[in-house]
């Protein structure tokens, strides 16, 4: 009997997918939950696992676009179905013990949980447990990454773990990450491992060492590549000497030149011919997270009528105020007085004066918000994240500064939750801390506007007919012209400028 596999539902707004590539060929023998092909939607790329053991019969070809529910392939029963099962068995002793325990045990699947409305897939960052390990209830077994946050996955029950998805794999929401044997079989499975002869165990260890030693996990490889560090310069602390993500994050770039020296010496004879020394290029596959971010940024550019308006702010009043009160402010409130609280407060007031800037389009309707949930762009180790300061219009300067510090620390530690990064109505990004003089920031969809801060530079300006040197910052407002007219965008930015150049207006709400 053949089983028809159909295109699964991958999101409310997704009606069709494209077959990106077939991992298996027509006629191949496949196992249940083994990845057979990759599918692409307009929002994400995800893998399709086999629903049963058998022989694969391909219906849709690479490049075909299929609607949700359409037949993509069939899996037929095969006489050789027992062969893969025998191959999967690690030793005869556990197989013999399995029938006795089968009646008192069960195997459950650990799947990717729903982590947010707009998230359709996650990447397996690292496994904290490996196949064969015994895990307890709620014990953390792996780390998962989405395009918005990193989070830990606890074990739903106590049992023996079998890993299905490898580090670096992209798994759709609801996809199988691992299997867990609970009950008697979990207890039985540990007996043969302890009672196994020393020689086979040693051989397995040697095999593991020969493969894993000095090899980074996918997540570790990405960190090392960003730092420009060779894996040969890092000591792995993982299983069998494998380089973990934590090893990569702790690694220093200083050891990197040492292993490069022999390569330079080996290529020395070629140097006189070229006169340029080593010229190395390398290719790295774009991560699924980066591809998702890229698609969303392109979608914003193509689906919105985005424009940017500019202005400049004289920062002297704020800088004088900070200089006068920063020590007393920190003494009383326990946090420093930074620029972000002034900009957040100014924007929250201006958003209430111009509610259309705080609105967004939903289908044929415009949704207006009476509250101001302001997203703050923060640079984190894994990229730019945008946590949200909620009800900023009701917060004091000290409340805003405390919240900014809290969210920034969580961002640096990769501990931000999905809830802390969803639901913003307006975004502020500060490229000035990296030296940016001027930019046109891209809207953080589905929001309608984003404010860009830039560096502060002393420039000559005319003040009451006199030329003075003042600390000036350029500010930019990118907005969706479908919702916001030019008058509202310019007026909003002028209002922000007025509030920043006369901070007393924010205290008096005038």
Question: Which one is catalytic: 33, 353, 481, 488?
Answer: 481
Question: What residues contact 316, with CB distance under 8 A and at least 6 apart?
Answer: 470, 471
CA distance 36 to 8: 14
Question: What residues contact 171, with CB distance under 8 A and at least 6 apart?
Answer: 46, 47, 112, 121, 122, 123, 124, 165, 177
Three-class SS of 31-94: CCCCEEEEEECCCCEEEEECCCCEEEEECCCCCCEEECCCEEEEEECCHHHHHHHHHHCCCHHH
Contact 372, 392 (CB under 8 A): yes
CA distance 334 to 328: 10
Q: Of 202, 209, 211, 234, whose CA–CA distance to 221 is shortest?
A: 234
CA distance 65 to 82: 34
Q: Of 248, 217, 250, whose CA–CA distance to 230 is shortest?
A: 248
CA distance 446 to 355: 15
Contact 212, 240 (CB under 8 A): yes
Q: Of 213, 148, 228, whose CA–CA distance to 420 is shortest?
A: 148
Q: Of 341, 350, 315, whose CA–CA distance to 449 is shortest?
A: 350
Question: What residues contact 297, with CB distance under 8 A and at least 6 apart?
Answer: 442
Asked if 481 is an active-site residue, the reply is: yes
Contact 89, 31 (CB under 8 A): no
CA distance 433 to 454: 7
CA distance 156 to 177: 12
Segment holding 220, helix H or strand E: helix 218-227
Tell which phi-psi region holds residue 383, choosing left (phi > 0), alpha (psi between -120 and 50) or beta: left
Tell which phi-psi region holds residue 56, choosing left (phi > 0), alpha (psi between -120 and 50) or beta: beta
Question: Which one is catalytic: 53, 64, 485, 488?
Answer: 485
Number of Cβ within 10 Å of residue 450's Cβ equals 25
CA distance 81 to 30: 9
Cis preceding-peptide flag for 350 (omega within 30 of 0): no
Known catalytic residues are 481, 485
């Amino acid at each position: 009997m053949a089983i028809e596999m159909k295109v699964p539902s991958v999101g409310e707004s997704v009606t069709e997918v494209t077959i990106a590539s077939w991992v298996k060929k027509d006629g191949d023998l496949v196992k249940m939950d083994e990845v057979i092909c990759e599918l692409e939607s307009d929002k994400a790329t995800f893998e399709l696992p086999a629903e049963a053991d058998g022989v694969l019969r391909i219906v849709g070809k690479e490049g075909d676009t299929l609607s949700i529910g359409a037949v993509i392939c069939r899996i037929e029963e095969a006489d050789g179905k027992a062969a893969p099962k025998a191959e999967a068995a690690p030793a005869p002793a556990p197989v013999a013990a399995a029938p006795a325990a089968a009646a008192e045990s069960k195997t459950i699947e650990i799947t990717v949980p729903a982590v947010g409305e707009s998230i359709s897939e996650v990447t397996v960052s690292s496994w904290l447990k490996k196949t064969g390990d015994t895990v307890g209830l709620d014990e953390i077994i792996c780390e998962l990454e989405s395009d918005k946050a990193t989070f830990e996955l606890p074990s739903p029950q106590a049992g023996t773990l079998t890993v299905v998805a490898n580090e670096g794999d992209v798994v759709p929401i609801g996809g199988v990450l691992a299997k867990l044997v609970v009950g008697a079989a979990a207890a039985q499975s540990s007996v043969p491992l302890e009672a196994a002869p020393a020689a086979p165990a040693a051989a397995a260890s040697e095999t593991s060492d020969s493969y894993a030693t000095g090899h980074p996990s996918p997540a570790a490889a990405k960190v090392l590549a960003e730092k420009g560090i060779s894996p040969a310069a890092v000591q792995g602390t993982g299983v069998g000497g494998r380089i973990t993500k934590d090893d990569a994050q702790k690694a220093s770039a200083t050891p990197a030149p040492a292993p490069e020296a022999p390569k330079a010496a080996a290529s020395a004879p070629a140097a006189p011919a070229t006169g340029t020394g080593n010229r190395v290029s390398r290719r790295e596959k774009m991560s699924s997270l980066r591809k998702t971010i890229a698609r969303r940024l392109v979608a914003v550019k193509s689906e919105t009528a985005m424009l940017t308006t500019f202005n400049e702010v004289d920062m002297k009043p704020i800088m004088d105020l900070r200089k006068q009160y920063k020590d007393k402010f920190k003494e009383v409130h326990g946090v420093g007085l930074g620029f972000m609280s002034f900009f957040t407060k100014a924007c929250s007031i201006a958003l209430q004066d111009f509610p259309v800037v705080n609105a967004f389009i939903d289908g044929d309707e415009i949704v207006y918000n009476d509250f101001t949930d302001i997203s703050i762009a923060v640079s984190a180790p894994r990229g730019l994240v945008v946590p949200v300061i909620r009800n900023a219009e009701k917060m004091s300067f000290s409340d805003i500064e405390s919240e900014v510090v809290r969210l920034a620390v969580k961002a640096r530690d990769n501990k931000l939750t999905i809830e802390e990064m969803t639901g913003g109505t307006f975004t502020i990004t500060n490229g000035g801390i990296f030296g940016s003089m001027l930019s046109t920031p891209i809207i953080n969809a589905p929001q309608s506007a984003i404010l860009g801060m830039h560096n502060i530079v002393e420039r000559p300006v005319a003040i009451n007919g006199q030329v003075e040197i003042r600390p000036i910052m350029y500010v930019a407002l990118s907005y969706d012209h479908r919702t916001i007219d030019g008058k509202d965008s310019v007026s909003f930015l002028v209002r922000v400028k007025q509030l920043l150049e006369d901070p007393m207006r924010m205290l008096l709400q005038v």
